[in-house]
Structure 1
Amino acid sequence: MKTNLRGKARYLALALPFLITVLFFLHRYYSYDPQASTHRVSPANHEPNDFWVEFFSRLEAARPAAAPIEFEGKAPVENWEPDIDHARANIINMTSEDEAALRVSHRGFITELPAFARHLPYDAETTGIVTTAGAPNFGQVVTMVLMVRQSGSELPIHVVLDSSTRLMDDLCMETLRSLNVTCIYLSDVWAGITPHPPKFSLYQWKILSILASPFQNVLFLDADLLPVHNPDAIFEPGSEPFASTGLITWPDFWTPSASRLFYAIAGDVEVPPLTSRTSSESGMMVIDKARHPDTLLLAAYYNYYGADYYYALLSQHGPGEGDKETFLQAALVLEALYKKRGSGYAPTHWMTNNSNGKRKKGYWDVKTLPKVHGRTSKGEWKGMFMQQMDPMEDYRVVMAATKELNEADYYTDSSFLATVGNLTKGIEPDPTRYMFYHHNGVKLDFTKILEPDNPIVALDEEGKFQRLWGEPDWIIKNTGRDVERQLWREATKVWCRTPLKKVCQKMKDIYVYLY
């Protein structure tokens, strides 16, 4: 009997380290949320991250003592014309008291920004892809992850979650983890913070997810943003434009519609001409936290107070109002304030290139305009996605078109495009180098494929299934492979490993018929 007890004790001693390891990883990836899932385990004795305590404290300390902006009407929807400048739309009327309060808030936050930016946490020399999701769009994230891996990318991926379900938890632990994806639950990250962070809206999650990921170099992708070419080379040593800027943004179709009041509130900075650039399209963005902590935190301020003030100030209810303008405009404002350093502002030292020349800082807003691709079904055309250019190809053609200009000035001169006229007519990028397809016309969430009239599934005049993107020749010519066929194949495998049996069968039927 004693021998048996000793044997049990020995086995228990051997098993204990394994059990501790398992519990550690369960704690690492899961926490209990009674509103969402019964599969996750609550973190024990969780201490709030010092950065997040400071983050919310500083943002609340800068809360504007102004009434939320409300106004009728909206900025006109205009396709950007780089040859044509005109007066900006002036729709917002604000009392002098509210404008003064917003100025005080903005200036106070900027003044504290140099110290605050030094506390932005990240793991040095790490690079990865970040996205954000919740229960409503998690199916799109699965599609995006599959496309990332099909492109050949080996970058790790962080999915920052604002909510959870049992199915999401299972996919995070099994399918996504096998694809080098980590799910980060913000409910875990913020556990123990007092007072608890406020409830955030759709557009605010982008900046929160970038900050929550420990990657230093981030390629942010919306859940409906599909890379069709490998983006990893963007981050290679010496790869331009990232090497010399640390920030890459992409264009939308529209004329910028920020109010002049925004530039006044931001410190009476110069209002850029409308010919300088299009409005921004923030479905994808590349940023280095080591060079742009100030840019990210000012963008966080604009988003934290976006719904009440800055979304309206930056778009005036124009197309796509939300977070889209907050990132590039944060960089432009910091640049302008640095140039106005005699005005009493305390500029951040990150706004200058390092003297050793090894870590330059600026911004690159891609000049190649997006293209729209769609599908015709039963005589009706529907836009499927926006094509956005490979930034390395964009850099190549822009530099070729402006080779006589001072390249160093370009990185931080917000009025550069206005000095060279219509640059879009002078660049001819390789049309097969569109790297990203922003699938905002039809959301590729295959869990919804059974819904009546779901636009993923379309029938022709004869009642036959149609491909998503049209003829395979077009797909192969522009991507080098039948991306759509690969996506359906891999997505079918994923969803057939879940309890969604009817979804699985529908996807199998379509795949067999079309591909």
Structure 2
Amino acid sequence: MARIRPGRARSIILTFLVICLVSSVYLYWTPTTASTTASVVPSTAFEVPLAERQSAFWKAFKPLLERNAPHCPSPQRVDNAGAEHFDAIHEQHRPSLTDMSEEDQAEMEQAHANFVQDIRNAGKELKPVHTPGKRGLVSTAGENYLPVFLSSLRMLRRAGSTLPVEVYMKDSSEYEKKICDDVLPKLGARCMVLADVVGSDVIEHYQLKIFAVLFSSFEEIVWMDADCFPLGKPEDLLTSEPFISSGLVTWPDFWRSSASPFYYKISRQEAPPMTARQSSETGAFLVSKRTHFLSMLLAAYYNFYGPSHYFRLLSQGGPGEGDKETFIQAASAMGEPFYTVSERVGAIGHNKPEGGLSGSAMTQSDPREDYALTSEGIWRVKDPAAGMAPHIFFIHANYPKFNPGDNVFGTGWETTPTLKEDGSDGRAWTAPKDVVARFGYDVERAYWEEIKWVACNLEEDFRTWEQKMGICDRVEIYWNNVFAEPHDDDPKFTPDR
């Protein structure tokens, strides 16, 4: 038998020991459970930086938008759709309040079809920017909206949410260094400047919301407007029905749909019955870009050409005309699923002396409880007595914005949310009592506690508050008058049912 020289023997032994060491490290660091198949190296370890992904996406997407422009005059207004409340029982004729020639209809239809074909065939050239599996909350804010957003963000954290947050701003003029660099990161949020991606020369040509969604690093998104906040953890909605099966969840507005029959012809869809669903209120929505990427691209097309063509077709001058109808209509046009919460939006405020409601916010219901009802064929939108009302999940404090440095105090707004009938300080949200009871706890007090923190800790830091004095003092006076001690007429809540 051949002898192994001592030097070669040492080499063999060292090689064997190295293999054993590497194997031991691999076995130690690699999960052994059957349910875990992913590498222990984080998926983001070798990712291209977000800014580069955004730039590459925009470089590929912008030509598709521009190549498929509707080369025809804007649809002409005949009349505006009124504020007609949604009727889920009685079928009505779809309003036709827009005028278009057959040639213009054909031009828009072909441009729409070409764009849909382009995004379906784009393949890897149009790669999404998000990190697979990443969840987060996206919003937009700047100028007067930034203090409002910060109060909403603190309400998000107060609810127990740990979702990372990206807040998009139109351009660098809205970027406030103190807030963006020091305050927001401590709350798990970061500022993003949209003009850094798309350029300042095009930022005014479309609505910001859809592009904030497309450019965000999150695959599954909770969207909240700056003046919207949750009463629970929004991430729980992303792991529940109806989001799991639909991938897109929206909430209703007060009004009936007023989309033009021309829109359905242009998008090659059959118009749904007027009883099918309300118009949309997109202060909050949920979307998965993994399942609805094409829908979001088409929604971006509707927004890019919204002011010139699509906003008119989708709302015909109805209340809140803008980007609000683009999400559901795009998903419908692409044949992708969606769930529209059926429970009616609620208006909350306080009663007027002469009767009626002085409203200053909207309430949106828990989609999980709504889905549990509709899955059993229970539609409270048709018969409110058919089942128990879902709890409130989102509050959209939209009129006025609850910015203590603006007109939320006094008589600057017709709703005078912070004043009682006798002119003294009072609660904004006391009616309707049955809707307020569905909060489950004293949400208004909690909200003002966060507004007080923002006002008294950052009074000198917001750019729009620079020339304003006594903001913290005014908030503290209001707090002491309204919330410091209980009052006999405080609302009652139903935490358990």
Query: Under TM normalisation by the shorter chain, which class is it?
Result: 0.7 to 0.9
- Give the SS at the match of 2:83: coil
- CA–CA separation in structure 1 for the residues paired with 2:272 and 2:390: 32
Amino acid at match of 1:382: S
Over residues 357-394 of structure 1, what are the superposed CA-to-partner deviations in whole Å (9 max), with x where a residue is unaligned? xxxxx211111111111113665741121211111111
Q: Which amino acid aligns with 1:187?
A: A
Cα deviation, residue 168, structure 1: 3.0
Alignment partner, residue 58 of structure 1: 64
5 Å-filtered alignment, 1:36-115, equals 49-115=55-121
Partners in 1 of 2:178 and 2:222 — Cα distance? 25
The residue matched to 1:65 in structure 2 has which SS?
coil
1: CA distance, partners of 2:381 / 2:445: 37
Q: CA deviation at 1:122?
A: 0.8
Aligned residue for 1:63, secondary structure, equals: coil
Match of 2:324 in 1: 324
**Aligned position for 1:488:** 448
The question of 1:510 aligning with 2:478 is answered yes
Structure 2 match to 1:170: 178
- 1:376 aligned partner: 351
AA matched with 2:208: W
Instruction: List aligned pairs for 1:146-165, cutoff 5 A.
Output: 146-164=154-172
Separation (CA, whole Å) in 2 of partners of 1:472 and 1:252: 17
Segment of structure 1 superposing worse, 463-472 or 362-371: 463-472
Say if 1:429 and 1:184 are closer, same or farther in 2 by CA, change over 3 A.
Answer: farther
- Aligned partner of 2:204 in structure 1 is 200
Aligned length: 422
CA contact (8 A) 2:136 2:164 kept: yes
Which residue in the other structure is 2:153 paired with?
145
- Of the three residues 354, 377, 396, the one matched with 2:372 is 396
- Comparing 448-457 and 216-225, the one that deviates more: 448-457
Matched residue type, 2:169: L
Alpha-carbon deviation of 1:197? 4.6
Partner of 1:145, secondary structure, is helix
Match of 1:211 in 2: 214
Q: Which residue pairs with 1:281 in the alignment?
A: 281
Question: Match for residue 34 of structure 2?
Answer: none
Task: Answer whether contact 2:362 2:396 (CA < 8 A) is retained.
Answer: yes
Counterpart residue type for residue 107 of structure 1: A
1:315, 1:48 → 2: CA distance? 31
Equivalent residue letter for 1:157: V
Q: 1:257 to 1:480 in 2, by over 3 A?
A: closer
Tell me what 1:133 maps to: 141
Is the Cα–Cα contact under 8 Å of residues 255 and 279 in structure 1 kept in the other structure? yes
Letter in 2 for 1:507: V
Per the TM alignment, residue 434 of structure 1 is displaced from its structure 2 partner at its CA by 1.2
Describe the superposition over 1:210-265 as per-residue Cα deviations: whole angstroms up to 9, x where unpaired.
112110000111112121222221112xx111111111011112121111111111
Q: Does 1:366 align with 2:341?
A: yes
Q: Is the 8 A contact 1:132 1:161 kept in 2?
A: yes
Counterpart AA for 2:372 = R
Paired amino acid for 1:324: K
Q: Which residue of 2 aligns with 1:385?
A: 361
User: In structure 2, what residue type is equivalent to 1:388?
Assistant: Q
Deviation for aligned residue 1:164: 5.0
Matched, 1:437 2:395: yes
Structure 1 residue matching 2:382: 3-state secondary structure: helix
Distance 1:285 1:333 in 2: 18
In 2, Cα distance between equivalents of 1:497 and 1:167:
19
TM-score w.r.t. length of structure 2: 0.78
TM-score of the superposed pair, with normalisation by structure 1? 0.76
Aligned-pair CA distance for 1:75: 2.0
Per-residue Cα deviation, 1:347-366 (whole angstroms, up to 9, x for no partner)? xxxx5xxxxxxxxxx21111
Match of 1:226 in 2: 229
| Cα contact 2:75–2:309 (8 A) shared by 1 | yes
Pick which of 203-212 and 390-399 moved more.
Answer: 203-212
Single out whichever of 425-434 and 320-329 deviates more from structure 2: 425-434
Aligned position for 1:305:
305
- Verify the 8 A CA contact 1:122 1:215 in the aligned structure 2: yes
Distance change (3 Å), C-alpha of 1:508 and 1:473: farther
Quick check: 257-266 or 436-445, which moved more?
A: 436-445
Task: State how far apart, in whole Å, the 2-side matches of 1:384 and 1:150 are.
Answer: 22
Is the Cα–Cα contact under 8 Å of residues 349 and 432 in structure 2 kept in the other structure?
Answer: no
Deviation for aligned residue 1:446: 2.1
Query: CA separation in 2, counterparts of 1:257 and 1:313?
Result: 9
Work out the CA distance in 2 between the residues paired with 1:75 and 1:116. 37
Specify the code of the residue in structure 2 equivalent to 1:464: S
Distance change >3 Å, CA 228–CA 475, structure 1 → 2: farther
Mark the CA change 1:428 to 1:173 in structure 2 (over 3 Å): closer, same or farther. Answer: farther
Q: How far apart are residue 286 of structure 1 and its match?
A: 0.4
From the superposition, tell whether residues 316 and 222 of structure 1 become closer, same or farther in structure 2 (CA, over 3 Å).
same
CA gap 1:391/1:304 in 2 versus in 1, 3 angstroms? same
Counterpart of 2:325, as a letter, is: E
Provide the secondary structure at the position in 2 that maps to 1:250: strand
Give SS of 1:124's match: coil
User: Secondary structure, in 3 states, of the residue corresponding to 1:252?
Assistant: strand
The residue type equivalent to 1:216 in the other structure is: E
**Aligned counterparts of 1:364 and 1:422: Cα–Cα separation in 2:** 16
Which residue identity does 1:397 align to in structure 2?
L
SS at match of 1:249: strand
Q: Secondary structure at the match of 1:88?
A: coil
Structure 1: stretches of 5+ with no match in the other structure? 1-27, 30-42, 336-350, 352-361, 403-420
Equivalence for 1:358? none
Shift of 1:170: 1.2
Q: What residue in structure 1 maps to residue 13 of structure 2?
A: none
Q: CA, structure 1 residues 117+277, in 2 after alignment: closer, same or farther (shift >3 Å)?
A: farther
Is this contact kept in 1: 2:242–2:368, CA < 8 A?
Answer: yes
How much has 1:458 moved relative to structure 2? 3.0
Q: Counterparts of 1:72 and 1:437 in 2: how far apart (Å)?
A: 35
TM superposition shift of 1:166 = 7.9
CA gap of 1:476–1:278, structure 2 versus 1, over 3 A, is closer
User: In the TM superposition, what is the alpha-carbon distance from 1:452 to its structure 2 partner?
Assistant: 5.8
Structure 1 equivalent of residue 457 of structure 2: 497
Whether the 8 Å contact between 2:248 and 2:286 is mirrored in structure 1 is yes
Q: What's the offset of the Cα at 1:472?
A: 13
CA contact (8 A) 1:252 1:280 kept: yes
Deviation at 1:467, TM superposition (A): 1.4
CA contact (8 A) 2:350 2:431 kept: no
Secondary structure, in 3 states, of the residue corresponding to 2:256? coil
Contact 1:295 1:331 in 2 (8 A): yes
Aligned-residue CA RMSD (Å): 2.8
Q: Which amino acid aligns with 1:287?
A: V
- Deviation of 1:174 after TM superposition, in Å, equals 1.9
